[in-house]
A and B are shown apart, each in its own frame.
Chain A
Amino acid sequence: MKKIVVIILGLSLLIGVPLMILDVIGQTKDVFTIPSNYDKVIVDLSEESRTEKLLFEHELKVPSKVDFFMQSDASGEKTIKVKSESDIVGLAYQEIDFSVGTYTGNTATSPSLIMGAGSYSVYLTSENTDGRIAIGYRETPMDPEEYDRLLKVHKGELNNPPKHYVEIFSSDLTGRISKDEVVYTLNLSTPTNIGFSIYTSAEQGNLSVDIIGQSSNYYGLVHPERFRICDQLETTLQPGKYQFKLTCEHANGQVSIFLKQ
């Protein structure tokens, strides 16, 4: 018995140690995996502690979607602030903070912001710690019609869904109190490509729209300050029941959910 256990543990080590070595080699080879079509800025965090230190500033000639890809191999608090001269579509303010965890390899904080023409700047707040933070960014000019549509939604005209999307739920939020209230149920018998667009004009209070399914869940798709627009979230859902749940209290404005099936 003891011999068998020793053999099993020995064999495990023979398999496991090379796996550990391969894993470490793989990690050091490509710590940051910012896509090649992104511009990037890499900052050494061990140089100093920083409080809203400007990393870079760019001018957008036309309304654009800016995709960010943020990674860091350092532990500790790291915050990236993006400030824009113009409105950031879907946000209450013209600035937003992103917390960047220890994300390397295939993990990253990767938000996309739609901003009007004008300059935007990126700031870093971090402790003095071993490691680096990498910020990748890619600017893509927006189709003017699409930008106008989203700008209308941003200004509170929610009934401006993308083509082929139909409204499945809409409600005034003032005075409404809901806790995980099922506002729509989707039953799928086969794997189906689905698109969701969820918009709100709420500026205060608690608001959350969650999609709860048997194989996929989406939580907190809109937020009064941070994400008023969740546009064209497209995915393939496995067969099963999917519930759209609304939670709101002390909110104002409206919420609308559109579906493309």
Chain B
Amino acid sequence: MEIRNYPTVAQANIMFFFTAVATLLGSMFFQPKLGIGTNLWINEFVYILLPPVLLAYVYGWSFEDVYRYKKTSKKNQLLSIVSGAGLWFFMFYISIITRMLLDRKVGIIINPGQASLSVNQNLLLIIGMIVLAPICEETFFRGCIQKSYEGYKKRIGFIITGIIFGSYHILNGISEVIPATILGICMGYLVYRTDSITTSILFHVAVNACAVFLGGSIGSATATGIPIWLHILAISGLLTSMILLPRIESEHHREEPNDEERLSVLGIVFLGLSALFLLSIGVLEILTRLNIVKT
């Protein structure tokens, strides 16, 4: 039996399927009982970080080599943060446009009642989004899944992972899929280029920090339509990222797998199951918007 020193595509796909299902079921159970902040921590630690950590423990993999827990230059760190913050404005803009289109063309989701958050839940949410989500999700997606897909197709591993990352965000709503996919591809590119997960973690921190601290105020300004300054800010953010991202320096020697892995039947089955599961979540949102399914 071949012993691999990095995860296989089948392992990654099985893990992704169970993570997606567990995130949804776990959130349905824990969020009403423990609150949105605590639920986020459970999602990040238990369903997202634990599987790759267990996999590394079972196979005796080094986090540095497999999940690319490696340092990178100060310049790369700074470029990752600034390009992440810049791209957030554009992604937020895309998310708003998608949501407006869905609201107008399909229908709105009527919220039966919004619970205001306690101070503790707010703090948990902020720490969860800015600290935990970048570390846990980057370990899972860029560290584990991207590594496995790079063994399948070296040069497009980060694109496939970006699409998987984006589709996972359908759990937050259809409007989040395109922005999360683009962000996922950018973060995957950073890791592909630098062979270090530090860059994608910092990029993710910048994106989530903007969402936490600017999302609410910018979002409320879009109630009557998208103001002109947001169009300008979004395009400026996109241009800034497009200028900065190619300036990321390649620092580490990337270990090229000798031969590209063939996709196993098990890997394809679980990727299909994940796609079906996430697609059904999207269909459910459409049916809810059409008022066929009640919230």
Contact = CB atoms under 8 A, between A and B. Distances in A.
A24 to B, nearest CB: 7
Interface string A1-42: 110010011001001100110111011000000000000000
A75 interface: yes
B63 interface: yes
Contacts of A1: 63-64, 69-71, 196-198
Contact of A107 (B34, B113, B221): B113
B178 interface: no
A149 B3 CA distance: 84
B223 A8 contact: no
Contacts of A99: 112
Interface residues of A, number: 31
A214 B221 contact: yes
Q: Interface size bucket, B side?
A: 20 to 34
Contacts of A109: 113
B120 A22 contact: yes
A23 B32 contact: no
Contacts of A9: 132, 135
Interface stretch (B19-27, B82-90, B123-131, B241-249): B123-131
Contact of A20 (B38, B114, B196): B38
Contacts, number: 75
A20 B119 CA distance: 11
B166 to A, nearest CB: 24
A190 interface: no
A202 to B, nearest CB: 21
Given A15-B127, A103-B115, A212-B224, A75 B32 contact: yes
A2 B64 contact: yes
Interface string A86-125: 0000000000000101110111010000000000000000
A28 to B, nearest CB: 11
Contacts of A8: 131, 135
A57 to B, nearest CB: 27
22 contacts: A1-B64, A1-B71, A2-B63, A8-B135, A9-B132, A9-B135, A12-B127, A12-B131, A20-B41, A20-B120, A23-B121, A23-B124, A26-B120, A27-B35, A99-B112, A102-B32, A103-B113, A107-B113, A213-B223, A214-B223, A214-B224, A243-B224
Interface of A: 1-2, 5, 8-9, 12, 15-16, 19-20, 22-24, 26-27, 75, 99, 101-103, 105-107, 109, 212-215, 217, 241, 243
